[in-house]
Homo-oligomer: A and B are copies of this chain.
Amino acid sequence: MKNIIKLNSGFICYGNAVGVKESEGPLGEYFDMHDTDDRFGKDTWEKAESEMQRLAFNVALNKGQLKFEDIGAIFAGDLLNQCVGSSYGLLGCNIPYFGIYGACSTSAEGIILASVFTSKDIFKKCAVVTSSHNCSAERQYRTPIEYGGQRTPTSQWTVTGSGAFIIGDSEHGNVRITEAVPGRVIDKGVNDPNNMGAAMAPAVADTLVRYFTESGKKPSDFDLILTGDLGYEGSSILHELMSAEGFPDIENHNDCGILIYNREKQDTHAGGSGCGCAATVLSAYILPHMEKGVYKDVLFIATGAMMSPDSVKQGNSIPSIAHLLHFSVNKEC
């Protein structure tokens, strides 16, 4: 069975909204908007997360001078139970809606689906919106932040942020979406929910090896191999795994969870995570830099750890997934 899906779509526009910590990090100047206190004017963290989705989607539409009616379908998801960040955040758009769940890989899953729909002329334009919020995630997965639980060195910091992408058919976008490899569910027995990087790294290796083997390409063919979000721990494991698979040199690798925070100053331990991590780094930093010609060929591999708090308590290890996309710039801007 073939692994690579050939696509012919492009990014029309994109936007994002992030929290205070993200706005103070290394990519702070690139984000479209942030709120002063992560509440986004709402009285619960869950409602704040939905509001971020609404804002990010509206920012993206405004940049492309588009309206709700221009969008054929929206693919959206988040980390909250029953994906309520998305179902409430995108209420009122009146756009056909596909709920998706891939944990922190959700943005890549959505971009694959939206690219298939636009490449194959199902719709001219589709949207992808994903989000995570540190405070809603902490109390759902671990403990409310007021508890002040100690974090282990390998733990990651859930990003407060939402990214939105409007994807168009063959006629749209300077940054083209040319190939995808959907991830497989991989579980190598890691059962520490405070070390998601270790759980997810084997999923990235599985997807990357399938891509390189089938395409005949090698890591050095790309300006950037961007994972999201292995963090420091998972990235280090990925390099070991790829080396064992015959790819010792992936020096052009970076990771959204590493890029988004300053490890020394921001107390974020192994790096960022969450459905909002890869989505905000991609929309705020990577795609604009591709439009400027800084990167021309990028592999984007968003990763997800698909356990639940209950599944961990029941003794299960952590099933993970990594979806790959190949972006390239085919026009000078």
- Which residues from B are CB-within-8-Å of A116? 116-117, 120, 122
Which of A69-77, A236-244, A325-333 forms contacts with chain B? A69-77
Query: Do B44 and A314 have beta carbons less than 8 Å apart?
Result: yes
A185 within 8 A of B: yes
Query: Do A101 and B100 have beta carbons less than 8 Å apart?
Result: yes
Query: Do A185 and B97 have beta carbons less than 8 Å apart?
Result: yes
CA distance A306 to B117 in the complex (A): 24
CB contact between A82 and one of B44, B71, B103 (< 8 Å): that residue = B103
Nearest residue (CB) in B for A109 is: B98
Query: Do B73 and A182 have beta carbons less than 8 Å apart?
Result: yes
- Tally of this chain's copies: 2
Q: Which of A296-311 contact B (CB under 8 A)?
A: 306-311
Given A46-B310, A96-B184, A308-B81, residue A319 in contact with residue B91 (CB < 8 A): yes
Query: Do B308 and A84 have beta carbons less than 8 Å apart?
Result: yes
- Which residues from B are CB-within-8-Å of A294? none
Contact-size category for A? 35 or more
A28 within 8 A of B: no
- Which residues from B are CB-within-8-Å of A95? 184
Nearest residue (CB) in B for A102 is: B99
Can you list 26 A-B contacts (CB < 8 A)?
A1-B69, A2-B123, A3-B96, A46-B310, A47-B314, A79-B82, A80-B308, A80-B310, A81-B82, A81-B309, A82-B101, A84-B311, A84-B316, A87-B185, A91-B187, A91-B319, A93-B184, A94-B184, A96-B182, A96-B184, A97-B184, A98-B112, A99-B100, A99-B101, A99-B102, A99-B306
